[in-house]
Amino acid sequence: MKLKIALFSGLLGLAYGLSNADPVMVLDDSLGLSQVSVFAVPTPAVFEYRTLDPKESGVLPRYWEDAPPQVPHRIDKFLPVNAKSNKCLECHEEPDKIGKKVKGKPTPMSETHYVKSAADEFTVSNKRYVCTLCHAPQAEVGTLMENTFRGDTAAK
Ligand code: HEC
Ligand code: HEC
């Protein structure tokens, strides 16, 4: 019986404590990533994409195996990618050279970017036609949130 009473009064104490807990203060400028009031309309920081031409860009590290490689060079001259034009393919579609990368030359797209006919002919897969869906151009920008993620299989 003693135990029951102790338990009951413990619960009562807990309920009382909760109902009287100090309200937690959350300031409106600590809610979003931009760290300004939620009522403000902050101007995004200005940044520029890389302006290096392909032959001088080199390549960027890959963060994990099978991650789509980041685009190391400028792409403004090669856009838009649409049904009539795909400049990316003019350089990267080289089915005869798959897996044979030469420094300073366009990396041939891997086999995953093609469909193979019965006669072993490669055609670019429609699913991989719009390159920039997966391959992002890069820019120097500040870090919004620190992130400690590291793929172990980095940089090829
Ligand atoms: C004028 C030829 C040319 C065009 C057009 C071009 N690229 Fe490239 N691209 C290159 C070259 C050259 C490299 C490799 C640079 C090196 O290895 O030094 C490269 C590298 C890349 C890489 C990195 C590959 C790796 O191994 O890490 C990606 C991704 C890429 N390009 C995507 C694109 C996309 C997307 C487009 C279209 C918006 C495009 N490229 C248009 C020549 C081109
Ligand atoms: C649906 C996502 C997706 C699209 C769209 C896509 N890629 Fe990729 N790409 C990948 C992934 C994932 C890899 C790395 C794994 C692999 O090779 O399949 C890759 C790898 C590559 C590589 C490096 C190949 C190697 O052997 O290292 C090049 C170059 C490339 N893509 C170019 C392109 C170009 C050019 C286009 C447009 C015609 C394109 N990709 C469209 C996802 C995509």
Q: Which of the residue ranges 38-42, 78-82, 104-108, 148-152 would you say has the lowest mean pLDDT?
A: 148-152
Judged by its nearest atom, the ligand closest to the C-alpha of residue 88 is 1
Q: Domain of 126: which CATH number?
A: 1.10.1130
CA dist 48 and 146 (Å) reads 21
CA dist 73 and 58 (Å) reads 8
- Residue 122 domain-assigned? yes
- Residue 92 domain-assigned? yes
Q: Tell me: the pLDDT tens digits for 51-67? A: 999 999 999 999 888 99
- Determine the pLDDT at residue 118: 95
- Residue 42 domain-assigned? no
Work out the number of other CB atoms within 10 angstroms of the CB of residue 49: 15
CA distances from 148 to 45, 63, 64, 70 (A): 23, 12, 14, 19
CA dist 123 and 26 (Å) reads 56
- Residue 84 domain-assigned? yes
Work out the number of other CB atoms within 10 angstroms of the CB of residue 73: 22
CA 79 to ligand 1: nearest atom: 38
- Residue 145 domain-assigned? no
Number of domains in the chain: 1
CA dist 145 and 73 (Å) reads 25
- Residue 4 domain-assigned? no
- What spacing in Å lies between the alpha carbon of 112 and ligand 2's midpoint? 8
pTM > 0.85: no
- Residue 16 domain-assigned? no
Q: Whose CA is nearest to atom 32 of ligand 1?
A: 71
- Residue 150 domain-assigned? no
More confident call, 143 vs 155: 143
Mean pLDDT comparison of 36-40, 60-64, 134-138, 148-152, highest-scoring range: 134-138
Range of the domain at 77: 54-133
Paired tokens of 40:
């403000």
